[in-house]
């Protein structure tokens, strides 16, 4: 079995070798036109005299301007803002009893992957820390073809049928009359839709939770969302749901931090991913499977085909089968991250779809949207999208055809081409769709088994810790407070009440409203004009499980502090011995130690050694760091006390429940900030051991502090 704890060497994969011929490097090369014609002047257009009109025959100008005019492709309707990286997937153990897919049966493989993370609602120019779902899409370049696992960082989706997807997105996008707000769901049109569409409640409460504002793209889970099928070589099928479990644990920031990070560094997530890989701190996720025999399809109190429902891990454990490691940043953002095209229809033998109506609609939508974005049926020939296995078929021509097909025939069957390309037997690796008996009337309707909108949102909320619940209540209060129509707020309060009455009451108090006992009309009337509305009304929420530990982020922590950003507040004269002991202990755990000084350049410690400054205090913010350390040294601390922003820096770290450590005179900065309120805090260490500080950082936050921290001025 592969050692789970050993990161693979970032060697060039087969996909990298395949791409090599497409890479270009202008170092030491003459400038040319696109056809290789050498250029002697790239600064002046061809004119009739030095002050004359530009000539139509200036093909160099026309080529340059024409290319510039077309440099941008239309951004994605959703998931427009993305970050990505190359890596490998390695299998821990073969699972032939479930699937014949080679990627799940050959433990010697290092399958190349390209993974793209993204926000959903905002434009390409929106900030990283919007409260939003995050896309989590993985392209596996397998030896049998490309497999795209296109999911999110939440295990469910807002809607049950793809027919509603345009409505969902139109509601959350900027309102069309004003084109505001950008990358935000806190507005009337979104809540008008949600309050009329109760199937959205489960995904919606996840978005109101801390899952919607991750600390890092490297510290969030990923899910395939839908129920898929795995098929073994005997033709037997199992249902499966896919999970990505981050080795670094699952961590988030607070809303207050997110707002400030968006101002201090709107590229925070993108920069974090790039810098970690650049530093050799490769992010890793283990791939887990929830596998359900076909015979057990109907044994649950929810429908496996309903994308708004998750399968609690207590009911179906997650089987860990392999690990993905992202170990190389893209060479070019546009060519790779922007042009990559993910399609759920990209499958390999041994995998297949289910009849999930949301998934079924996605199978149509993704190809359609890539054609719109990339402009041609040949988008799969773009290097980042190409399979590592050669493609051979009779599809020809089209805009931006990049291949040169040889031969007389482009049809099948044929004799003039020797019958090629020929068909392959299933036993030789050809794709086979699962043989499923389908009987039923042609009908436009929703299954009554999908009509349970409150049970799983309630399970999610019950499973959260008190501090997580408080964040959910704050998020609902903020979002609904941005709505201007009282009837929308009242409908939403009634809906929240169906999840949890105490939660609804807390949100209502924040809005200065009462929770309504009833609403004027039955919910879910939008299911269809001729639908039996009574049959679409949910009953009381079911409690088939009191709590699911995996739904709380406290269950998903990690003991590592690798890549955590530690701010060292110091000035000339700081204690060199204190700093060296703490810095070496932190770096030994792969944390990033960064000095924040009164000025840029370098500062000198008590030992007379110069130390490089990461940032001047006026150019950075506390919210960009995970923990704070103040070394001793009277001269240094006195210099810090002269800058008011250092008190603000420490105050915000305390307010956001982060670990803080000081040595010697460093405590004076805490005393000046808190007047002693920090004395009994479990994550504030005065002359404490590096070991204790490291342990507190690994816990991410001391949320026992939250009630106290609310009273600390920002």
For the annotated catalytic residues, the residue numbers are: 79, 152
End-to-end CA, the chain: 51
Distance CA 145, CA 586 (A): 43
Q: Are 287 and 431 in contact (CB under 8 A)?
A: no
Distance CA 709, CA 704 (A): 9
Residue pointed to by tokens 């060497």: 9
Can you list the positions of beta strands (E) in 553-625? Answer: 565-569, 592-597, 602-604, 610-612, 615-616
3-class secondary structure, 380 = helix
Q: Are 481 and 511 in contact (CB under 8 A)?
A: yes
Alpha-helix runs per DSSP H in 111-235: 165-172, 188-196, 201-208
Exposed / middle / buried, residue 63 (Cβ in 10 Å: 0-12, 13-18, 19+):
middle
Written as six digits, the tokens of 118 are: 């993204």
Of the candidates 526, 568, 609, 673, the one whose C-alpha atom is nearest the C-alpha of residue 192 is 526
Distance CA 239, CA 232 (A): 12
How many C-beta atoms lie closer than 10 Å to residue 380's C-beta? Answer: 18
**Do you find a cis peptide bond into 181, omega within 30 degrees of 0?**
yes
Distance CA 371, CA 324 (A): 29
CA distances (Å), origin 477, targets 97, 192, 208: 49, 16, 10
Q: Are 221 and 550 in contact (CB under 8 A)?
A: no
Which residues have C-beta within 8 Å of that of residue 368, sequence separation ≥ 6? Answer: none
DSSP 520: S
Q: Are 461 and 495 in contact (CB under 8 A)?
A: no
Distance CA 478, CA 483 (A): 9
Which residues have C-beta within 8 Å of that of residue 439, sequence separation ≥ 6? Answer: none
3-class secondary structure, 136 = strand
The packing angle between helices 165-172 and 188-196, to 10°, is: 150
Of the candidates 341, 389, 390, the one whose C-alpha atom is nearest the C-alpha of residue 369 is 341
């Amino acid at each position: 079995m592969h050692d789970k704890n050993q990161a693979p060497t970032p060697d060039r994969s087969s996909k990298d070798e395949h791409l090599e011929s497409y890479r270009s490097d202008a170092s030491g090369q003459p400038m040319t036109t696109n056809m290789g014609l050498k250029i002697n002047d790239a600064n002046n257009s061809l004119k009739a005299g030095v002050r004359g009109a530009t000539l139509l025959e200036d093909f160099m100008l026309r080529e340059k301007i024409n290319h510039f005019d077309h440099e941008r492709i239309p951004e994605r309707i959703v998931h427009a803002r993305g970050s990505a990286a190359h890596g490998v997937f390695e299998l821990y153990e073969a699972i032939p009893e479930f699937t014949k897919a080679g990627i799940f049966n050959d433990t010697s493989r290092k399958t190349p992957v390209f993974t793209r993370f993204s926000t959903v609602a905002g434009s390409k120019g929106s900030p990283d820390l919007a409260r939003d779902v995050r896309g989590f899409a993985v392209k596996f370049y397998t030896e049998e073809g490309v497999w795209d696992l296109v999911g999110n960082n939440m295990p469910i989706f807002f809607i049950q049928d793809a027919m509603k997807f345009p409505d969902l997105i139109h509601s959350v996008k900027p309102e069309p009359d004003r084109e505001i707000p950008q990358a935000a769901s806190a507005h009337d049109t979104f809540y008008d839709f949600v309050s009329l569409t109760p199937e959205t409640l489960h995904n919606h409460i996840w978005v109101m939770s801390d899952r919607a504002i991750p600390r890092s793209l490297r510290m969030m889970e990923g899910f395939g969302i839908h129920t898929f099928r795995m098929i073994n070589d005997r033709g037997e099928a199992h249902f499966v749901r896919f999970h990505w479990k981050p080795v670094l644990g699952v961590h988030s920031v607070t809303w207050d931090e997110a707002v400030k990070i968006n101002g201090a560094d709107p590229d925070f997530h993108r920069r974090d991913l790039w810098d970690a890989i650049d530093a050799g701190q490769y992010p890793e996720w283990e791939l887990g499977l929830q596998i359900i025999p076909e015979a057990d399809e109907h044994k649950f109190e929810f429908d496996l085909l309903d994308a708004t429902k998750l399968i609690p891990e207590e009911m179906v454990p997650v089987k860990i089968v392999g690990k993905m490691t992202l170990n190389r940043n893209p060479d070019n953002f546009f060519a790779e991250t922007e042009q990559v095209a993910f399609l759920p229809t990209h499958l390999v033998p041994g995998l297949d779809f289910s009849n999930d109506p949301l998934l079924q609609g996605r199978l149509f939508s993704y190809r359609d949207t890539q054609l719109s974005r990339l402009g041609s049926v040949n988008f799969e020939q773009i290097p980042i999208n190409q399979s590592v296995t050669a493609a051979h078929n009779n599809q020809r021509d089209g805009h931006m055809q990049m291949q040169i097909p040889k031969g007389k025939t482009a049809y099948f069957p044929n004799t003039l081409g020797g019958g090629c390309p020929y068909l392959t037997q299933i036993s030789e690796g050809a794709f086979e769709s699962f043989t499923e008996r389908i009987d039923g009337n042609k009908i436009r309707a929703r299954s009554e088994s999908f009509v349970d909108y409150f049970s799983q949102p309630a399970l999610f909320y019950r499973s959260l810790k008190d501090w997580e619940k408080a964040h959910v209540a704050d998020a609902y209060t903020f979002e609904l407070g941005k709505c201007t129509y009282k009837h929308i707020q009242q409908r939403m309060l009634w809906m929240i009440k169906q999840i949890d009455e105490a939660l609804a009451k807390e949100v209502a108090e924040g809005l200065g409203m009462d929770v309504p006992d009833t609403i004027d009309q039955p919910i879910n009337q939008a299911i269809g004009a001729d639908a039996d509305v009574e049959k679409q009304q949910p009953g009381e929420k079911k409690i088939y499980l009191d709590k699911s530990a995996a739904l709380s982020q406290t269950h998903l922590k990690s003991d590592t502090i690798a890549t955590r950003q530690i701010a060292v507040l110091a000035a000339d004269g700081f204690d060199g011995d204190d700093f060296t002991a703490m810095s070496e202990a932190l770096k030994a755990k792969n944390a990033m130690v960064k000095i924040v000084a009164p000025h840029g350049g370098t500062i000198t410690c008590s030992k007379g050694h110069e130390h490089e400054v990461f940032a001047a205090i006026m150019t950075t913010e506390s919210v960009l760091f995970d923990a704070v350390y103040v070394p001793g040294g009277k001269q240094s601390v006195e210099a810090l006390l002269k800058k008011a922003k250092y008190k603000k820096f420490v105050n915000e770290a305390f307010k956001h429940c982060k670990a803080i450590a000081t040595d010697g005179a460093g405590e004076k900065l805490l005393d000046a900030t808190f007047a002693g309120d920090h004395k009994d805090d479990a994550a504030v260490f005065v002359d404490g051991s590096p070991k204790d500080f490291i342990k507190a950082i690994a816990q991410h936050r001391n949320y026992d502090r939250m009630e106290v921290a609310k009273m600390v001025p920002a």
